[in-house]
Each structure stands twice: as C-alpha cells, then as structure tokens.
Chains A and B, each alone.
Chain A
C-alpha cells in the first residue's frame, strides 16, 4: 500500500512519515510526497514569487482542485492521502478560533473546525480516504512532546519553543526533511510513544494517530 502526503513542506512530511511507518509497518518508500509545486516550472515560480502566498494556501488550492488527490487515488494500492495543515494561520483560512480561555476542549474544537473546512474545500465526502493531519498550532508541537513532557497543544509558538529547548541541548534545529525525520524518529517507535506518553501532551497528535489506526490499519489486515 502507498500513502500520499500533501503537506506544507518536506520537514512536515518527515514527521508524518515517521508516525505512519511506526503504526503501520509500511516502508518509507511507501509514502509518496504529493507536492503541488511539482506542477509548476521555473517560469511559474518566477511569476508566483511576485505574489504573496502563505504555506496553507498551497494545501487549500490543492484540496479545491483535487488534481493530486484524485489522480493518486486512481491507482491500485494507493488508497489514502494525508492532508497536513497547521492551524497557526487558521484565521487566514476563515476559521473562527474557539476562545482558548472559555473552550474546555480548545484543541479538539479547533481541529474539528479545520477538518470541516478541508471537507468544504474538497466539495465531497472523502473522509474514508483522507487522513487529516491537523497540527495545532504547528507540527513542531508534535515533536515537542518528545523533548518537553508538557502539553504542547496550547503553546502559541511551538516552533520557537522547540528551537529553544533543542538549542539548550545543543541539538540541530534545521527545519528540513533529514533533520526533522531524525528529531521525530521516536514517533515511529510505538513503545517509546507509550512510555513517553507523547500522545497525552498533544491532542492533535493523538487525533492523527487515531486517524491512521482506525482507517489504514484495518485495510492492511484485509490486504
């Protein structure tokens, strides 16, 4: 089985890949990057650079067009697509954030709103084929659970916090595929995930684990 990943960047995919590989036993080569940027050439990029666009807009545009999603799912053995989006820019994609102070389940509520928004973009119910990887507020919060034994879902700027903690331990903080794959490697080890209670420290991380467990694993048993 192959799983496609639409993510904001290569570093985000590295984290998602570790989780999927750890839970399903799939090989890393079974995880494909679906990058809207592959549909552009250097001339397009030059034209795009004159416009300002945020990282979420690429994901939003792909959800609305569904080119990569439908194309990927047309091939035998390719049954799931991960859509990753950070909520840090949620205001810009028309999400009314719940009040952090008033909402008992801020994280769950915000995640549900983003899932709903993605479904609106997709224009059809694809919940059996889509694995929602909604990171509150940034995917760095998921990595933070490994290095800081505290709830990371309420952190306003998990990226900064992760950098601060890693720098203290003199760990490389570069945000790229190789480094983020290394930093998040414990998320691919189920025993470490349980022992470290990583899922208790971030509800959006826990929700993504549940997505993979409930949707992908039963399909693997059938194959």
Chain B
C-alpha cells in the first residue's frame, strides 16, 4: 500500500468522514507528520507548517503533485479545517493570537495524534486508536489552562466586613437591591488590578469597579473602627495544586479618589523581590555592569511594580465585570471601555465575531434557535452593507442580522436597528466561546433585555460553554428565570444568597438542596418568588 492510501486509512481510523479521507486530506496529513514516501510512520514528527510555503511545498517536492496556488481553499476545506475541528491538528500553536487571515497561520499535528500515528502498521495500532478516541475530547478540553478560584475571603471592602465564599465554576448571586452583590464582584476586580500592577483609578474603572473615595470603600460601620486596608485572600487551584494568595490594600491617601493603593503584604517583601529582579537580570545577562543592572531593574519596576509573579496572575489580571449597555452593543456610543476583545459595556462584539474560526462560529450559531425570526448573523468586516444604506451611519458596529420572515431585499438589519435581546445573547455567547476573552470574569445583571424562557436556556448553554472552555464566572441577577438554567445538584454550578445581616454587613450563603432530596416540587424561580430561598425583601 502506498503512503497516500495508508494516510487515508489512518484518517478513517481517526473517525474522519469519508469526504475528508481524500487525496488532499491524506497528503496534508503526510506533510504535517513529515512522512515521505519511503519513511516509516514511527518516524513521524511534529512541525509547525504554513499551508503554502510548507505543506503544499512538501507535497510538491516529496509526492510530485503540484497544486496551483488557487487550491489553497481546497486544502483548508478538505483537510485543515476539519482536522482542527476534530482535534487531529492544532491551529497556530506557536502564536494563538494571530489574526484570522494572517499569512503566518500555521498548523501542527496534535501530540496525541502524533503518538497514535507512530503505532500505525504495528501490533499496537488498534489499541493506540482506541486510546486516541478515548482521550481526544479530554485533550481538546485540557488545551486550556484549568485555573479555578476555589474560595475568596473579603474583609473591609465597602459593606463586606468579613465574608468567605466557596466558589464553583458557574456562580450566581441573588439578593435584594443594595445587599452587596456587586461589591463581591468588585473586590475580585480590585485583586485583578493589583496583580496587573494597575491599582489606580483607571485600572479599577476599566475593570468595572464603581470608584469612590477610599474612605468610602473601606468599611466603616456604626460602632466599629474605620478600617485602614482591604484584606482579600484567595484559594486558587491550578494544575491540581492549591495555592493561597493574600493581599492587604491600603490607600496612599484616604481622602483622594485618584490615590494609588499599596499592597502591604508585598511591601514587606520588597527587599526580597528586588533581589529576585537582580538575580533574574544577572542570570539572563551574565557580566552586566552595575549601571545597566540598575537600569534594567528600574525598567522592570516601572512595568510590573514590586510584586512576586504568581502562576495565576494572568487569569486574575484579565478579570472584569461586564455590565452590558444596549447602546454600546449597537455601536452607537463612543467606546467607553478600551478592554479588548470585548469591552465591559458590550463594545467590540462585531470585531470579535468577525475573527471567529469555523468551530467558534458553529458554536455561536446555536443562538439561531433562541430567536425564531433569526436567519443569519453577518459580521460585515469591510462594512460594505453600510454603503448599501443598511444602517444610518451613527453606529460603528458591523454586525447585521437576517430576519427570515422578511423579503430577501429587505431582510438585513444592522445592530443599530436590531432587537436588543439578540445583541445581549450574542455578546454572552461570544464571551464564553472565545479563547481570547478572559478565563475568569463577572457579569452584573445578566438578565437585562431577555425573555424569561430565554434566560433559562441561555444560562443552561452558558454553563456548558463555561465547562468546555474551563472558564469561571460570577453572575448577579434579579430575574428568577435565570435560576431555572442551573442544576444545583452539580457542584460546579452554585447559587448564593447575598444579604445584609442585622448590623448591615454583607454576608453570603450558599443555597443548596439537602442531600436526601428525592423530588423538588417547584422550579428554583418559583421557590425564589415564594421567598423560600431568601433574597427577597421581608417587610412588605
């Protein structure tokens, strides 16, 4: 059997459909494994390859089949895209942030597939193939970092004097207006700003924190002393190892809204941190002069401040509180949030969707079932539809929606003219689907503009996406229907009541069914409305 036929047999073994077992698919696999006609499969190698300069070139030199440059699309459709979707190969493993049509777009065989392929034509092939099928989905999921904030302890942040919350992966907070739900989200944003060396007015504001004068942020209750620092500790699980992180944030000037905050825990370690910086520079640049050493150390201090690097810094630094504003989603307000790819008020949705790959787009299209009128979502990257007069021009969004009930020449609506619910739903799906959006984030008042039934199915979908993408989210809501999308028997999905105790201090309590629960007569939404979960005003 020749190598092309063998490659086709391998693709069949991997479970690729027949239309992706053709000659182009086989040659692409051979190129990505660097297998020439006389090579043994056990010598297969993983190399990052660009389609035209590497893959097609490899085919031409080694298999003497010369494809015209116009065949690139055939390679993508018949081989590369389905291979990526099935997890057989990885797209842009060396630089995941490449733009979608970058000339540097590259591909590499996945390690699991490579190790399986090496067993082809051996007695272990069938076993290897079984293992590949068994672990394929797991490895797709494990490609994303699995960091989980297990618990947070907040002291002296606004109405929270001392409260511990044990988080799951998908966390929903309910409570009466003014009970302190958003304060919990903000305390985490403050930690994120600290980890990003961005603990300033702008750093906090850009993460969705409602800024106040420090003496208003630090808890001050009747009959107790005014606190001087916000103390927050986190218990973080990363790669099955649990780590503790503590910070004690104190304002340089209690009365200045623009003041800098200092982490007192790190301040104690300043001499050690400085020594670490010197050591790191000296190791990288042996023989560096004293002046240059000081200069380099100064550069590091100005960019990252005095702080010990922790494995979870990136995850926390990216944390933001999303609080959507329909005008921002429509693209008709001046962009307020500069966060990319998605702003905290709904900015940037059109560009993110335009950059989605096939797999992301397929996931996004699930939202078509949420709206019976929605035929198609168009990300008009070049804004050609504007020229056709399909939007008045105030909006900078390039998103359009096709209403399937309308006549073909009158069925395309711009984000500016579309229904607001679809924009909110799309934003949430994009936020949860994309690998470019934060892994850990919060959403304040998720229910805005959504029909109650839609709330339930959307939350159920978001739970699935959160798990698949190994993200972690904190959500607040005042809409009972949101709760109906949760399965509280799953430890990863948690519901919390936030309330003020008799002294006005914010407390959090997990709402969980008793272990012996065999039947539940009411939906969670009904239970909330009946007052069985708390989180409702009591005196009227």
Contact surface of A with B, Cβ cutoff 8 Å: 2, 4, 10, 27-29, 32-35, 38-39, 67-68, 70-77, 177-178
Contacts and interface: CB of A to CB of B under 8 A. Distances in A.
A38 B512 contact: no
A87 to B, nearest CB: 26
B529 A67 contact: no
Nearest to B507: A29
Contacts of B509: 2, 77
Contact of B532 (A34, A76, A77, A178): A34
Given A27-B501, A74-B520, A177-B539, A32 B531 contact: yes
Nearest to A29: B501
B514 interface: yes
Contacts of A67: 521-522, 530
B387 interface: no
Interface SS of chain A: helix, strand, loop or mixed? helix
Q: A-B pairs with the 5 shortest C-beta distances?
A: A28-B502, A71-B532, A76-B512, A29-B501, A33-B538
Most chain B beta-carbon neighbours within 10 Å: one of A4, A39, A71 = A71
B501 A71 contact: no
A72 B499 contact: no
A74 B514 contact: yes
B521 to A, nearest CB: 7
A139 B418 CA distance: 58
A68 B528 CA distance: 11
Contacts of A74: 513-514, 517, 520, 532
Nearest to B520: A74
Interface of B: 499-502, 507, 509, 511-515, 517, 520-522, 527, 529-534, 536, 538-539
Nearest to A2: B534
Nearest to A73: B514
Most chain A beta-carbon neighbours within 10 Å: one of B520, B533, B538 = B538
Contacts, number: 62
Interface SS of chain B: helix, strand, loop or mixed? loop
A12 B265 CA distance: 50
A10 B539 contact: yes
Given A2-B534, A28-B502, A68-B532, A75 B512 contact: yes
B513 A38 contact: no
B536 A38 contact: yes
A69 B262 CA distance: 50
Contacts of A72: 532
25 contacts: A2-B509, A10-B539, A27-B502, A28-B501, A29-B501, A29-B502, A32-B534, A33-B531, A34-B532, A38-B530, A38-B536, A39-B530, A67-B530, A68-B531, A71-B527, A71-B530, A71-B532, A73-B514, A74-B532, A75-B512, A75-B533, A76-B513, A76-B514, A76-B515, A77-B509
A75 B532 contact: yes
A98 to B, nearest CB: 36
A27 B499 CA distance: 12
A34 B520 contact: no
B534 A38 contact: no
Contacts of B514: 73-76
A71 to B, nearest CB: 4
A67 B515 CA distance: 19
Nearest to B516: A74
B538 A32 contact: yes
